[in-house]
Chains A and B, each alone.
Chain A
Amino acid sequence: MTTTREYDIVIVGSGAGGGTVAQALAPMVAQGVRILVLEQGPRLDDHEFTGREDEMAPSLYEDGGGFLTADGTMTLAFGRLYGGSTVVYTGTSLVAPEHVIRSWCVPGLEHADLQRRSEKYMAQNQVHYLPRVLLNENNKLFFNGCHRLGFRAEQFPLNLDGCKGSSLCNLGCPNAAKMGTHRVQLPEAERQGVEVVSRAEVLRLEERAAFVRVHEKTPGGKGRPSEWAPGEYEVKARMIISCGGSVGTSALLLRSPVTAGLSGLGAGFTCHPAHILVAEHDHEITNDVGHPKSYYLDRATEEGFVLETCMYFPFTTAKNLTGFGAEHSALMHAYRRLQMIHVLACDKAVPENRITVDRSGKAVVHYTFTNAVVKSMVAATRTSARIFFAAGARRVHAPSADPPLIDRQSAYRLDDLITEAHFLPGRISVSAAHLMGGCAMGADSAGVTDSRGRVRDVPWLRVADSSLFPDSLEINPYLTIMALADRVAEGVQIDWRH
């Protein structure tokens, strides 16, 4: 049996886009507008964030963090809970580069406008630089390595309040210190009367209606039961705003008869494909204590990559090292001496990289590493190896080298050892967490939406999330997603008045 409910505005998804839209529209509730957020994942209570890798990854991420692209050569990480990926993000807060926004050529979208809105959310999310006293040695070594090579590493602004330096950000902060939409925007929206229903998966959209399945809480699983009784619902709405993320929104629109035929839908997927690189030092360093991500080196314009500090948990580390057996184990046992760098390639939208759905409606992400991406990742790996050695590392693990372990004595041969020929998809681990595109903004027929997220020819439907990006952003995207969502919400308010 299907239960029917009626609202004025329905928001699908509660991550960076959905949380922002919910808060921005919340004042409309006082004018009698009924607003509902439908989130397919659960709502976790504070005490459930234990920081344990075995418990948290399956509870926070789609497919436990192991969502694979169609050919199985890359894992995509994205959150599936109240707060979306902002629950698991690291909190680095950067404003979009001006040249990128200009290159998107979206009519009506100005960098100055995005910057102004980004700054609003930086203030809301308490963005600041960590004081030096709280930086760990993993981060300092990166800075020093860059400095010795003549690079200037930049410090990340971070959105923290009360950070204890547990280094567990990507498993959900156990100290409620990281400012995701689950901490800031959603609670504020709910305080003003926006309703949020968790475990509510939107199966498809029809003319001004969302068809929803509310799931039971799995026995022994984390999170509260849904606010609604489990079952099937038809939720009628005057306007629907899809904020399911790049993969979630694209898949939802592709399996909805009203939108499935939209030209460009699912196209232009980019994700900053990434490696986790590891180096071993002679002595222990502070690495799994302190905020994990304090510095980055932006080589996007020059060489198509960005390097960031990072520190991952044992299983994530093990999975990302190439190879197996005694050498792999030895490196794992050197955990306290490990320094890590996250290498991100600035990929470009190409026709073959796109999102589709299978017969059951599940998202399928097709992604091929273009020559340009392979080149960037190899160049990034070489530069990282130089930084590691300049920082004093004894040996470096480079996925695109064979064998992957490179001793200090061989440091002078890095260009020969780390090569594109060794970038063998399926052998090396590549992962991505900056998923972008699928419902690109653009001029007229070039875009699925306009710069306010209005879906072409579907007046009751908007998009407000990372799927709007017409191409990759070349930096960490959450602030830009919030800025775009804020624009979409403003457009909704303007249109509502008319």
Chain B
Amino acid sequence: MTVTVLEPVRATFRAVAATVVPETHALDTDGWATLESAVERALAARPERVRAQLVTFLRLIEYLPIARVVGRFSRLDASRRTLVLRRLEKSPILLIRRGFWGLRTLVMLGYYTQPEVQAAIGYRAHPDGWATRRRLAPPESRGTPLITLEVPRLPDDSTTG
């Protein structure tokens, strides 16, 4: 079996992910596998040092709340987890802030690059562009445009694209 970066800190990673992107809370096994494999791919392209830092940072997140007698991060409820992560996000220490920024970016990469997720939030960009939106566009060709420019002319209205 391939050794993965997230394996030793998976519970913490998932708890962070579910706090950063609440929709991940509902992911099934396949859903988590898709998200985590995108994260693993991104990590594979990074130096070993960066992968080790990520694991250390996740361990820190897991055990940090114990110092405040609230328990391990992965066992906290959603609102307590949010509080912990907000503290990291706004920490006076740059290293902590950027560590959290990097972690949240990885979670977002794993989630928002999935085509199904992109479709679910309404993203519709397509190589065929305007041709896929006959109903909407080009604006002037559908009678009354929703939004028009508030000036009579553009530098060169006559040119074709």
Contacts and interface: CB of A to CB of B under 8 A. Distances in A.
Nearest to B118: A314
A52 B111 CA distance: 14
B80 interface: no
B138 A319 contact: no
Contacts of A64: 42, 45
Contacts of B156: 128-129, 131
Interface stretch (A249-257, A299-307, A423-431): A423-431
B48 interface: no
A121 interface: no
B22 A325 contact: yes
B161 A163 contact: yes
A148 interface: yes
B149 A329 contact: no
Interface stretch (A135-143, A193-201, A345-353): A135-143
A279 to B, nearest CB: 14
Interface stretch (A25-33, A66-74, A224-232, A477-485): A66-74
A289 B124 contact: yes
Contacts of A333: 121-122
Contact of A332 (B19, B46, B97, B121): B121
Interface residues of A, number: 66
A319 B109 contact: yes
A130 B38 CA distance: 37
A323 interface: yes
A6 to B, nearest CB: 35
A234 interface: no
A306 B107 CA distance: 31
Given A72-B98, A128-B159, A167-B129, A313 B123 contact: yes
Contacts of A168: 125, 127
A128 B155 CA distance: 10
A378 B134 CA distance: 39
A278 to B, nearest CB: 13
Contacts of B131: 164
Contact of B125 (A71, A289, A427, A429): A289
Contact of B127 (A53, A135, A175): A175
Contacts of B133: 286, 289
Given A131-B161, A315-B108, A335-B121, A289 B149 contact: no
A288 interface: yes
Interface of B: 19-23, 38, 41-42, 45-46, 82, 85, 89-90, 94, 97-98, 101-102, 104-105, 108-109, 111-115, 117-118, 121-133, 136-141, 146-151, 154-161
17 contacts: A51-B125, A66-B105, A129-B155, A129-B159, A132-B157, A143-B150, A155-B155, A164-B127, A165-B129, A314-B113, A314-B118, A324-B20, A328-B20, A329-B21, A329-B22, A427-B89, A427-B97
